[in-house]
Amino acid sequence: MFVKLLSVTDDRAEAWKHSRVLQADAEINMNELEKTPFSLHSLKRYTFKVEMARVMLDLMVNFTKTMWSQSSRIIPLKDMVIDINWANDEWSQEILDAAIKKESEENLPQDIARLYTPIMARLGWTFSMDHRTLIGFLKSLERYQPVLYSTYGLELLKAIGMNEVEFHDAPFGELVHIEDGLFNQRHYHEGIHYIEGIGEDMYNLISQFNRHAETTILTSLWVTPFEKLCQMRMSDKIKYYYLINKHVYQTQILSHRACWIADWNHWSNRIAQYAKSPEDIIKLLPCHAEGRLCKYKADLIARCNGQDPNPPCPFYTGKIANLDQRELSEGKNFMTMMYRRIINDK
C-alpha cells in the first residue's frame, strides 16, 4: 500500500469573502466554518497518488471520475502482488498463484490470463476529490466495508491531517445508501432522456462501464462480505444499478471510446436502446468518426489470424465460424444478431 498527497487547493476563504462583500475584511474563523455542512467545502480539493487493492478503485469511482490509473498491462502477471496480507486471508494469494501458473502452462493471451487474477491485487492510480466528497466516501466505506476503511481509509485521513474524532464530527454524511434487496430485484425503466436499471456482468467489464463520467453506477461490491471480496476474480460477475443519460451515452461514449466490439456481450443490452439496424451499429463504432480507419489495426490482424481469441470486427472482415463459437460460450444477444446481418450484407 502507498498513499501520497500530491496537492491541496483550498479556495474556501476567498469564496466566503466573495459571497460576503460587505464583510470581506472581516477575519474568517475556519475552525467554526469547518463545522458547517455548506457546499463551500467542495472548494477544498485533494489530489492523491495511491497504490491499493484494485477493488478500492472501483468503489472510489462511484464518487469521482477524476482519476487516471496504471494500465494493468504494464505489470507482467508474474510480478503482480496482493496489496495487503489481511489476517486469515489466503484466498487472494492462491488465486493469483493459480492465475500465474495458468498463464504459463496454457500460454494464455495476456488479456485472458488477467481475468483469473484477484480483485485484491495491487494497482496504482492518481485521483482528485473534494473535501466533502472524500469525507462522504470514507464514511460510506466505514459503514459498508469496515476492513477496507481501517486499512485504506485511515491512511487517506492521515494524509490530509485529519484524526478520527474530527472525521466523525465532520458535518457530511455517507454518500452511499443501499436498500435491502436492491441488487436482487428486476428493474428497468427507459424514459425520454435516461435509462435506469439493474444489471449483472463480469467485474472487469463493469469496471470499464463504471468509469464513464456520464453514468451513475452503484455496484454490489459495497454490500459484498469482505471474505467474499478476497475470493473474487476479475472474471466473477457482480450486480450493479445504473442510470444513463441516453444522448450523452450514445454520442460521447460509445462512438468515442476504445473499440467495444471485443466486449459486445457487455454492451449489447445498452446498444440495443439506440441501434435498430446494422447501419446504426456502424455509426456507433469509433472508427466511423475517423473516416472508417481502425484505431486498433494490430488487434484486428491478431483476431483475423487467430492470435487473439476475440472475433474480428465485422465492419472489416467477418467469419460466421467466429460468431458460432462465441454464441456457444456467451449465448445469443442483440449484437450477435446484428453481426450476422452485417456479415450477410457485406
Counting residues of the chain whose pLDDT is more than 90, the rounded percentage is: 34
Residue 56: the pLDDT is 96
Residue 157: the pLDDT is 97
Contacts of 108 (CB under 8 A, 6+ apart): 102
CB 130 within 8 A of CB 43: yes
Instruction: Name the domain count of the chain.
Output: 2
* CA gap 289, 309 in Å, rounded: 26
**322 in a domain, yes or no?**
yes
The verdict on 160 and 285 lying in the same domain is: no
Domain that holds residue 334: 271-346
The dihedral built from the CA positions of residue 285, 291, 297 and 300, taken in this order, carries a sign that is positive
Residue 292: the pLDDT is 61
144: three-class secondary structure by DSSP: helix
Residue 88: the pLDDT is 65
Quick one: which of 166, 218, 67, 172 has its CA closest to 154? 166
Mean pLDDT value across residues 290-294: 63
Mean pLDDT value across residues 227-245: 89
Q: How does residue 341 score in pLDDT terms, banded at 50, 70 and 90?
A: confident
pLDDT in tens, 133-175: 999 999 999 999 999 999 999 999 999 999 999 999 999 989 8
Residue 337: the pLDDT is 86
The verdict on 286 and 147 lying in the same domain is: no
Mean pLDDT value across residues 4-17: 93
193: three-class secondary structure by DSSP: coil
pLDDT in tens, 262-291: 667 767 766 776 677 888 887 777 776 555
CB-based burial label for 210 (10 Å; 0-12, 13-18, 19+): buried
**246 in a domain, yes or no?**
no
**141 in a domain, yes or no?**
yes
**221 in a domain, yes or no?**
no
Around Cβ 338, how many Cβ atoms within 10 Å?
22
Q: In this structure, what DSSP letter does residue 121 have? A: B
What type of residue is 258? A
State residue 213 phi and psi, 5-degree precision.
-65, -25
**323 in a domain, yes or no?**
yes
- Scan for cell 454492451, then name that residue: 267
pTM value?
0.80
The verdict on 279 and 141 lying in the same domain is: no
CB 254 within 8 A of CB 263: no
Residue 154: the pLDDT is 97
The verdict on 145 and 282 lying in the same domain is: no
Quick one: which of 203, 148, 143 has its CA closest to 177? 143
Assign 3-state DSSP to the chain and report helix, strand, coil percentages, each to 5: 50, 20, 35
From 140, 169, 198, give the residue that closes a domain.
169
DSSP states along 278-297: HHHHHHHSGGGGGTS--TTH
Residue 23: the pLDDT is 66
Residue 245: the pLDDT is 77
CB 244 within 8 A of CB 194: yes
The verdict on 150 and 12 lying in the same domain is: yes
**278 in a domain, yes or no?**
yes
**311 in a domain, yes or no?**
yes
The verdict on 26 and 157 lying in the same domain is: yes
Residue 72: the pLDDT is 66
The verdict on 144 and 6 lying in the same domain is: yes
From 144, 169, 194, give the residue that closes a domain.
169
CB 57 within 8 A of CB 125: yes
Residue 271: the pLDDT is 76
From 169, 188, 206, give the residue that closes a domain.
169
The verdict on 15 and 156 lying in the same domain is: yes
The verdict on 128 and 276 lying in the same domain is: no
Q: Residue 13 is part of a domain; what is its CATH number?
A: 3.30.1360.170
CB 82 within 8 A of CB 55: no
Contacts of 92 (CB under 8 A, 6+ apart): 82, 118, 120, 121, 230, 231
SS (H, E, C) 218-247: EEHHHHCCHHHHCCCECCCEEEEEEEEEHH
**328 in a domain, yes or no?**
yes
* CA gap 169, 65 in Å, rounded: 27
Quick one: which of 119, 165, 166, 125 has its CA closest to 145? 119
pLDDT in tens, 27-74: 778 888 888 889 999 999 999 999 999 999 999 988 888 889 887 667
